[in-house]
Structure 1
Amino acid sequence: MARLHVHLPLLLILLLISSGPKMMECARIFTIVNYCQETVWPGVTPGDNFNGGGFELKSGQSIVFTAPVGWSGRIWGRTGCKFDKNGSGSCKTGPCGTSLKCKASGETPASLAEFTLTTLDFYDVSLVDGFNLPIAVTPVNGKGNCSVAGCDADLRDTCPSELAVKSNGKVIACRSACDVFNTDEYCCRGVYGNPVVCQPTYYSKKFKEACPTAYSYAYDDPTSIFTCSGTDYIVSFCSSRKQPVCTYHDNKLVCSGSDKGLKSLITRWWALVFAVPLLLTF
């Protein structure tokens, strides 16, 4: 169930002064943030714990969810969407049919964040189905490897022309070589259906060069899948993998990056914290 859906600065201020109940230890907190200059419509499957699987996220907005251990699914961004008041419509990239709330996976090409929540979580960002938005997964407050996964480069700017998806002359997504050419070599199937035979191609290498911690083809496991225990997750669109990002856990604001980054974040918003009670009074 969604907890908040407000602009990012106000979200973090409210979280700083919140006194809500302690979250169950088995739950994972997901903070989904849109740093893009455009509106994004995230899709999630299965989406029972994520506002039914779809919602609108304007530039600078953030939304917080919780998901139980045992959840396994994917999160991606949709772009260029138009939905009516009943939640029916269409998207230029990543649509999951004609509904705002996704019941099925998004159409290719789409950048995917994938999760399996167990005692030891597994997570990754995959470009195997192509690319439509920069996306990063940042674990915070966890134990173990807990590396940042993702693709913060914008492959729409460097997409080979034969893979490019355009709208009004502008590249809006980059297809995978498998999607375009549909050969066993590019799709890692048939005699290429094992990690020994299926090796990186010209196109997957292009993806890997731009996004070294994302899956570039089906058997790109060693540098693309990560693990962490008892962590919260920040899924951010159009962010740098190195910039500090924050979430909320056990009534505390928890941020990735250095202590300096956290102190700077708190200092900038400290005056606003004093103003929030007055705003809430009115």
Structure 2
Amino acid sequence: MKLTFVALALVAGASARTFHVVNKCSFTIWPAIFTDQTSPGRITSRPNGWKQGAHTTVSFAVPDNWQKGRIWGRRDCDFSGPNPGPNSCVDGGCNGGLVCDAKTGTGVPPATLAEFTLSGAGNLDNYDVSVVDGFNLPMSITNNHQDKCHVASCPVDLNPDCPKPLKGPFDKSGKAVGCKSACEAHLAPDPNNDPNCCTGSHSSPNTCKKGGVQFYDYFKSRCKNSYVFAFDEPSGTALWTCPSGLKADYTITFCP
């Protein structure tokens, strides 16, 4: 039986969209929200983290000017310890424990991210599914204007076949529940000059290209419509837009 929890209250008079977070996984996850401090709008209709059972949906209002925001899922969490925080989950944990800290609770990689800037430049919503920080859960972003706005997704479970240098962390049974990016796996000798992280002499689109990012093809071939590394936009299948005038409502689905 599918359960739906709704929290749509916003400050009176504020323009809003409706976001739906759907857990189609066969297990509990702990979704989280983070809003960059420079965003002109903040989500007040939902806390920055919650527990969500399998096959349930949580819906809430998001301000029309929510920008540089992200939503992700955490796995295998236990917040019963004396100092709950980023290590309370096997992956995706954040400062603050269950409810991620508003200023520092960005989440611990590897974690699949749904990223949004609503009402951005050119009167466009920008959104993507990012594995730049690695992967932990399959994810898709859809909306109620699919005839005009593309699906962003990484719908495949990348954990079982994750390349050995990237594989992990692991749950108590030894099963991989994460697949690090080459950047997060620190495969280059100098983190300050790393083609996988686009740092140092590789810090521009002209000097950091997919050919220099290790295991780029592993992620992109399985998750074509996702953002794989910092300058993946030339692929044409990383960043997606939707006219802001449509006032699209978005659905983030885990394990689509």
TM-score (norm 2): 0.80
- What does residue range 29-48 of structure 1 map to in structure 2 within 5 Å? 29-46=18-35, 48=43
Which residue pairs with 1:111 in the alignment? 112
Q: Give the stretch that moved more between structures: 95-104 or 126-135.
A: 95-104
Cα distance in 2 for residues equivalent to 1:41 and 1:114: 17
CA distance in 2, matches of 1:143, 1:67: 22
Match of 2:78 in 1: 82
- Indicate if the aligned counterparts of 2:92 and 2:107 stay in contact, CA closer than 8 A: yes
* SS of match in other structure, 1:130: coil
- The secondary structure found in structure 2 opposite 1:170 is coil
Structure 2: distance between partners of 1:105 and 1:150: 21
Change (3 A) 1:24 1:141: farther
Q: CA RMSD in A?
A: 2.6
After superposition, the Cα gap between the structure-2 partners of 1:97 and 1:58, relative to the gap in structure 1 and judged at 3 Å, is same
Secondary structure of 1:187 counterpart: coil
The farther-off stretch of 73-82 and 173-182 is 173-182
Higher Rg? 1
**SS of the counterpart of 2:241?**
strand
Shift of 1:202: 3.9
CA contact (8 A) 2:32 2:50 kept: yes
Q: 5 Å matches for 1:1-282?
A: 8=2, 10-11=3-4, 26-46=15-35, 48-49=43-44, 51-72=46-67, 73-84=69-80, 88=84, 90-103=88-101, 104-118=105-119, 119-141=123-145, 144=148, 146-165=149-168, 166-167=170-171, 168-181=173-186, 183=188, 184-200=194-210, 201-221=213-233, 222-229=236-243, 230-239=247-256
What is the letter of the counterpart of residue 117 of structure 2?
A: T
State the 1:134 CA deviation: 0.4
Task: In structure 2, list runs of 5 or more residues that go unmatched.
Answer: 36-41, 189-193
Amino acid at match of 1:58: G
Aligned-pair distance for 1:196? 2.0
Q: In structure 2, do the counterparts of structure 1 residues 114 and 136 end up closer, same or farther at CA, with 3 Å as the change threshold?
A: same
Please, what TM-score do these two structures have when normalized by structure 1?
Answer: 0.73
Read off the aligned partner of 2:51 and give its amino acid letter. E
**C-alpha deviations, 1:34-78, integer Å up to 9, x for none?**
000110100101374352200011000111011111112000000
Q: Structure 1 residues 120 and 39 mapped into 2: Cα distance closer, same or farther (>3 Å)?
A: same
Structure 1: 5+ residue stretches without partners:
1-6, 15-19, 240-282
- The residue that corresponds to 2:38 in the other structure is none
Q: Which amino acid aligns with 1:94?
A: G
Q: 1:186 Cα deviation (Å)?
A: 0.9
How far off its partner does 1:164 sit? 0.7
**What is the CA–CA distance in structure 2 between the aligned matches of 1:192 and 1:37, rounded to whole Å?**
40
Report the CA distance shift for 1:87/1:113 in structure 2 as closer, same or farther (over 3 A): farther
1:267 is aligned to none
Runs of 4+ with deviation above 6 angstroms: none
Q: How many residues align?
A: 223
